[in-house]
Amino acid sequence: MFNLEQYCQLILKYKHLVKRGAYHRTHSLRLLIRVLGEDFSELLELVQDEKKLHYIARLEEAYIVSRYLPYSFEEREVRDIYRFVEEVFKPLVEKI
């Protein structure tokens, strides 16, 4: 789960760097999406749609718990998040 979060975080930071010349020093996917969404409004769908926001929040949670808490995810949770990243997140981000 942590690796999925890292993929999302790093691809957003890469897009920020390419489009704006710099990126925010944050680990918050929501903040990175909102800032990049200022120039690419279709990306805001990830934080405006409640179901998609739920996935983004779970990814952020994965970052926090993997670094600071003893926590494990169930395989089916990870598979569900992976599907979201592959089918929803990745296509939206790759468009920009």
pLDDT attached to residue 83? 97
| pTM of the predicted model as reported, rounded to 2 decimal places | 0.87
How long, in residues, is the chain? Answer: 96
Q: What is the 3-state secondary structure (H, E, C) of the chain?
A: CHHHHHHHHHHHHHHHHHHHCCCCCCCCHHHHHHHHHCCCHHHHHHHHCHHHHHHHHHHHHHHHHHHHCCCCCCHHHHHHHHHHHHHHHHHHHHCC
pLDDT attached to residue 64? 87
Local confidence pLDDT in tens for the 96 residues of the chain: 999 999 999 999 999 999 888 787 888 999 999 999 999 999 999 999 999 999 999 999 998 888 787 888 899 999 999 999 999 999 999 998
Pairwise CA distance, residues 85 & 78, whole Å: 10
